């Protein structure tokens, strides 16, 4: 098949790759694919066969058995196929089964030796290769994986932004840190960059908003998880949507023209970072107030006074010292801490 760039030109933006997180059964794979037919922009059907799971007892995918189901999808629907690979053996199995697009997942991209081995296994084939960002926010590791593939003469490349696994990522499953894919796109202007809002959001409620943001920032396409019965999915249940919901969502997206434009100016990049930080600040404040309410309830049950001056002065002095060491203005800190404390007391009731 042609490169992803050619496909994008064929379809117009946003190009869409959709399908279940994991292939679970022949029936689920085929019914989902048939229901996705006709979704605007769809260039390929995705399904994970080998699922790298965080915990050992989670569903790890059906493996090679699923390749036969995918071949059936192609025969029945004509959709191109996209599968995640994590080892050279997966790569070889996909090449034998005429898979059109393979992608290297976030947990695999972190390992340069494995990326090299996969690149070697794919070298000389005609397959498109997508590289997800590594789980940790490291642009050079992402770039490095792309360069390793290029060195093995793999030219049909694309990147997929799926967010970053940081300690505090609320409200997202993986923090988007949009400035990183923007930087990548500016470094490799010819490289298509798709966004995977499913793994960024971790929740179907966030899909629309993340997809819109990705398009507004000039991303070339979307990879979205869709399952014929989302609530019964064996993996990533909260983030999968039915094919019908996906069609509705795609039809609501506003497409703006970014042709040939570099993704962002410096000012815009700073603004994106500020937006992200503010979003996290609000999440953290909300979490803090919820904790205050829990403390208030506990104090009532124990018949304790809501305000305990020695505790507050210890907290106040500690935060003031920390804030000053972080180069925050002392007067600003005092006002901010008092404001938070007052609201906290109000919430304790």
Of all residues in this chain, which one has the CB nearest to Mn ion in the complex? Answer: 21
Of the candidate residues 13, 80, 90, 132, the single one contacting ligand PEP (CB under 6 A): 132
Question: Phi-psi region for residue 98, left (φ > 0), alpha (ψ -120 to 50) or beta?
Answer: left
Scanning 100-108, 213-221, 240-248, 270-278 for contacts with ligand PEP by CB under 6 A, the matching segment is 100-108
**Based on CB atoms, which residue is closest to Mn ion, 21 or 83?**
21
Of all residues in this chain, which one has the CB nearest to ligand PEP in the complex? Answer: 105
> Binding of ligand PEP at residue 8 (CB under 6 A)?
no
Rg (CA), the chain: 23
Scanning 92-100, 101-109, 139-147, 326-334 for contacts with ligand PEP by CB under 6 A, the matching segment is 101-109
Scanning 68-76, 105-113, 268-276, 325-333 for contacts with ligand PEP by CB under 6 A, the matching segment is 105-113
Residues 6+ apart with CB under 8 A from 188: 143, 146, 159
> Which residues ranging from 293 to 322 are in contact with ligand PEP (CB under 6 A)?
none
> Binding of Mn ion at residue 24 (CB under 5 A)?
no
User: Least Å distance between CB 136 and ligand PEP?
Assistant: 12
Which of ligand PEP, Mn ion, none does 162 bind, CB closer than 5 to 8 A by kind? ligand PEP
User: Least Å distance between CB 41 and ligand PEP?
Assistant: 18
Of the candidate residues 4, 17, 18, 21, the single one contacting Mn ion (CB under 5 A): 21
Binding mask 202-241 for Mn ion (x = CB under 5 A): ----------------------------------x-----
Of the candidate residues 14, 48, 181, 230, the single one contacting ligand PEP (CB under 6 A): 48
Of the candidate residues 90, 148, 173, 199, the single one contacting ligand PEP (CB under 6 A): 199
Residues binding Mn ion (CB under 5 A): 21, 236
Residues binding ligand PEP (CB under 6 A): 21, 48, 84, 105-107, 132, 162, 199
């Amino acid at each position: 098949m042609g490169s992803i760039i050619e496909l994008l030109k064929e379809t117009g933006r946003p190009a869409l790759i959709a399908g279940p997180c994991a292939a679970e059964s022949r029936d689920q794979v085929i019914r989902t694919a048939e229901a996705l037919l006709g979704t605007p922009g769809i260039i390929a059907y995705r399904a994970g066969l080998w699922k790298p799971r965080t915990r050992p007892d989670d569903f790890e995918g059906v493996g090679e058995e699923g390749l036969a189901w995918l071949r059936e999808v192609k025969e029945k629907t004509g959709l191109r196929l996209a599968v995640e690979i994590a080892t050279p053996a997966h790569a070889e199995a996909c090449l034998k089964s005429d898979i059109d697009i393979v992608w290297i997942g976030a947990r695999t991209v972190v390992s340069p030796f494995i990326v090299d081995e996969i690149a070697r296994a794919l070298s000389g084939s005609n397959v498109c290769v997508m590289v997800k960002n590594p789980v940790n926010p490291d642009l050079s590791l992402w770039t490095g994986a792309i360069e390793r593939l290029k060195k093995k003469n793999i030219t049909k490349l694309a990147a997929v932004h799926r967010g970053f696994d940081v300690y505090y990522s609320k409200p997202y499953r993986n923090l988007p840190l949009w400035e990183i894919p923007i930087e990548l796109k500016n470094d490799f202007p010819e490289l298509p960059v798709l966004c995977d809002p499913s793994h960024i959001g971790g929740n179907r409620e966030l899909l629309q908003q993340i997809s819109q943001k990705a398009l507004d920032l000039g991303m070339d396409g979307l990879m979205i998880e869709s399952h014929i019965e989302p609530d019964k999915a064996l993996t990533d249940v909260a983030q999968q949507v039915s094919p019908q919901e996906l069609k509705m969502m795609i039809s609501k997206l506003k497409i703006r023209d970014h042709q040939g434009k570099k993704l962002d100016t410096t000012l815009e990049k700073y603004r994106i970072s500020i937006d992200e930080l503010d979003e996290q600040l609000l999440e953290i404040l909300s979490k803090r107030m919820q904790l205050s309410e829990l403390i208030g309830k506990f104090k009532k049950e124990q018949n304790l006074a809501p305000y305990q001056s020695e505790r507050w002065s210890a907290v106040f002095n500690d935060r003031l010292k920390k804030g000053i060491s972080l180069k925050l203005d002392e007067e600003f800190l005092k006002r901010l801490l008092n404001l938070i404390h007052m609201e906290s007391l109000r919430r304790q009731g």
